[in-house]
Copies of this chain bind each other. A is one copy, B any other.
Amino acid sequence: MFSKACEYGIRASIFIAKNSFEGRRVSPKEISEKINSPQAFTAKILQALVKNNVIKSVKGAYGGFEIDKEKIAKIKLAQIVNAIDGDNIYKGCGLGLDKCDENHPCPMHDKFKVVRDGLRDLLEDTNLEELALDLKKGSAFLKI
């Protein structure tokens, strides 16, 4: 469904959000350990998320990654997915046609549209806060 990079990016963002709630900055090393992802590769993805204003980095000693507490509830999954995989997964045609709409549909269009729009709603309506809180409560996990 999503690329590995995107899976890591979402998991990392949730982990950073949870720690920012608790006032802690986290390093790529700690992130990759806690979400079970390759460290250097994860660091690249974090850079992309910084550029897209999803997370914030603080350089130098005592630096790390964080998200402004007030921003956590405003960051939607769609923003993360979009920064890494683009929007084709929740806006494009299921069979890969460039032009696929009501006027010129692929054979799967009507049925697929329902699923795709469900995914779009999920991504556009779900924010980092609710996901991070589940993690904090211990009712959800980011590894294994």
Neighbouring B residues of A58 by C-beta, 8 Å: none
Q: Given the known inter-chain contacts A108-B131, A115-B115, A122-B115, please indicate yes or no for A1 contacting B144, CB distance below 8 A.
A: no
Does A126 touch B at the CB level, under 8 Å?
Answer: yes
Q: Given the known inter-chain contacts A115-B118, A118-B114, A119-B115, please indicate yes or no for A7 contacting B108, CB distance below 8 A.
A: no
Listed in ascending order, the chain A residues whose CB lies under 8 Å from chain B are 1-2, 4, 7-8, 10-11, 14, 77, 89, 92, 94-99, 104-109, 111-112, 114-116, 118-119, 122, 126, 130-132, 134-135, 139-144
Q: Does A106 lie within 8 Å of B4, measured CB to CB? A: no
Q: Given the known inter-chain contacts A7-B96, A95-B10, please indicate yes or no for A106 contacting B2, CB distance below 8 A.
A: no
Protomer copies: 2
Q: Residue among A7, A89, A108 with the most chain B CB within 10 A?
A: A108
Q: Does A131 lie within 8 Å of B107, measured CB to CB? A: yes
Neighbouring B residues of A142 by C-beta, 8 Å: 95, 97, 106-107
Q: Does A112 lie within 8 Å of B106, measured CB to CB? A: no
Q: Given the known inter-chain contacts A97-B143, A143-B97, please indicate yes or no for A1 contacting B107, CB distance below 8 A.
A: no
Q: Does B112 lie within 8 Å of A122, measured CB to CB? A: yes
Neighbouring B residues of A112 by C-beta, 8 Å: 122
Q: A1-B1, A1-B116 are in contact. List 11 more A-B contacts (CB 8 A).
A: A2-B94, A97-B141, A98-B144, A99-B144, A104-B144, A105-B139, A107-B142, A108-B131, A109-B140, A112-B122, A114-B118
